[in-house]
A and B are shown apart, each in its own frame.
Chain A
Amino acid sequence: DIQMTQSPSSLSASVGDRVTITCRASQTIKNYLNWYQQKPGKAPKLLIYGTSTLQSGVPSRFSGSGSGTDFTLTISSLQPEDFATYYCQQSYRTAMFTFGQGTKLEIK
């Protein structure tokens, strides 16, 4: 299986801060990396697919980058509604999708 490791596991930040979450794959996944946002009691919501393509309706303060094994999700200026848990997912090996363990973004 392709293991996905996110860091940090949790993060405290303030409104207006720039935040970066990293995701590392145990082997190359080219650009087959997606990011999801999950709020308590809700289903995950797609933010970014293919490493850097913003899903329709997602604010432009979200951006993604990387390739191969190392990827980042950046929120340029945190808004109150961005406090949530974020998951990366590899879709390179489609017979066995895997997610990162999640990064919980909390208000400082």
Chain B
Amino acid sequence: QVQLQESGPGLVKPSGTLSLTCVVSGDSITSTNWWTWVRQPPGKGLEWIGEIYHTGSINYNESLKNRLTISVDKSKNEFSLRLTSVTAADTAVYYCARDRVVRGVPPYFDPWGQGTLVIVSS
């Protein structure tokens, strides 16, 4: 059973850096899948942030790419998110998920981590 678990500070100061890690169990981070981040501001919808492949290939949401870094640590079977210069607009529940890649099948996100709330406030 594949499981993902996010971790990181729940409170970040404005203009600071938001850093989160997602630990993967039940699947290898070096499998054929991509590994993705999604966020959800309180009471709002889902926004895709970006994703990474174990080789280091990355796709970023254009609206965030200037502030965003996603990395992978194969030795720990985990991947991470770093978002700089945060503002209140970055307050959200942050989810990590597996971007399932199967030949001949459109990609989809499954499973998801439980999510972690990050509040940007002084």
Tell me which of B10-18, B21-29, B42-50, B79-87 binds A: B42-50
B110 touches A55 (CB 8 A): yes
Collect the chain B residues with CB atoms within 8 Å of residue A55's CB: 110
Measured CB to CB, the closest approach of chain A to B8, in angstroms, equals 16
Q: Are B62 and A96 in contact (CB under 8 A)?
A: yes
- B75-122: which residues lie under 8 A (CB-CB) from chain A? 95, 99-100, 105-115
Cα(A57)–Cα(B100), bound, Å: 17
Contact A43–B115 (Cβ < 8 Å)? yes
Q: Are A94 and B59 in contact (CB under 8 A)?
A: yes
Main secondary structure of the interface of B (DSSP, over half): strand
Query: How far, in Å, is A74 (CB) from chain B's closest CB?
Result: 19
**Is there a chain A Cβ closer than 8 Å to B61's Cβ?**
yes
Q: Is the interface of A mostly helix, strand, loop or mixed?
A: loop
A11 within 8 A of B: no
Interface size on B, as a range, is: 20 to 34
A71 within 8 A of B: no
From A42, A43, A49, contact of B108 by CB (8 A): A49
Instruction: Taking A36-B46, A43-B114 as given, write out 8 further A-B residue pairs in contact, using a Cβ cutoff of 8 Å, ordered by the A residue number.
Output: A32-B107, A34-B108, A42-B114, A44-B112, A46-B108, A49-B108, A96-B48, A96-B61
B44: shortest Cβ distance to chain A, in Å? 9
A95 CB contacts on chain B under 8 angstroms: 59
Kindly state the separation between the CA atoms of A87 and B100 in the bound complex, as whole angstroms.
18
Which residues 83-108 in A have Cβ within 8 Å of B in the complex? Answer: 87, 89, 91-92, 94-102
Contact partner, B112, options A32, A45, A89, A97, Cβ 8 Å: A45
**Who on chain A is nearest to B105 by CB?**
A50
Contact A99 B48 (CB under 8 A): yes
Q: Which residues of A contact B62 (CB under 8 A)?
A: 1, 96
Contact code string A22-51 (vs B, CB < 8 Å = 1, else 0): 000000001111101000001111100111
